[in-house]
C-alpha cells in the first residue's frame, strides 16, 4: 500500500465516521426514539467497555485464566470494589493501576 492510498483510506474513513455521527445528531433533532430504545441505549457504553476489559483480564494465550496468580484479574476485582464503594472514577483507575503494578512485581 503506497502513501497516497493510505491517506485516501484515512480521509475517507474519517469522513464516513463524521457523517455517521452527524447523522445521529441531526436525526435526533427531528425524531425521538421510542422509550424502550432509549432505555436500551443507556447500556451500550457499559457493554462495550465490558467487552474490551473482560477479555484482557481473564484471557491469557487464548485460554481462560481465572487463577489467583492472575494479576490483571486481581487488580480488576480490586478496581471493581473501589468503584462500587466510592463511585469515583479517578480513584478506581488509580487503585486498579497501582494494584496491577504491585501484583505484577510479586506474581511474576
pLDDT in tens, 9-62: 999 999 999 999 888 788 777 778 889 998 999 999 999 999 999 999 999 999
- Which pLDDT score is estimated for 59? 93
Report domain extents, the chain.
1-31, 36-107
Residues 6+ apart with CB under 8 A from 59: 65
- Which pLDDT score is estimated for 25? 81
DSSP per residue over 12-41, as a string?
HHHHHHHHHHHHHHHHHHH-PPPHHHHHHH
* pTM, rounded to two decimals: 0.65
Percentage of the chain beyond pLDDT 90 is: 75
Amino acid at each position: 500500500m503506497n502513501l497516497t492510498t493510505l491517506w485516501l483510506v484515512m480521509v475517507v474513513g474519517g469522513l464516513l465516521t463524521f457523517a455517521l455521527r452527524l447523522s445521529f445528531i441531526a436525526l435526533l433533532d427531528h425524531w425521538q426514539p421510542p422509550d424502550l430504545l432509549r432505555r436500551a441505549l443507556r447500556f451500550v457504553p457499559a457493554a462495550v467497555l465490558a467487552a474490551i476489559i473482560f477479555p484482557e483480564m481473564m484471557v491469557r494465550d487464548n485460554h481462560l485464566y481465572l487463577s489467583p496468580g492472575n494479576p490483571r484479574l486481581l487488580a480488576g476485582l480490586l478496581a471493581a470494589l473501589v468503584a462500587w464503594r466510592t463511585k469515583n472514577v479517578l480513584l478506581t483507575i488509580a487503585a486498579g493501576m497501582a494494584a496491577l503494578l504491585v501484583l505484577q512485581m510479586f506474581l511474576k
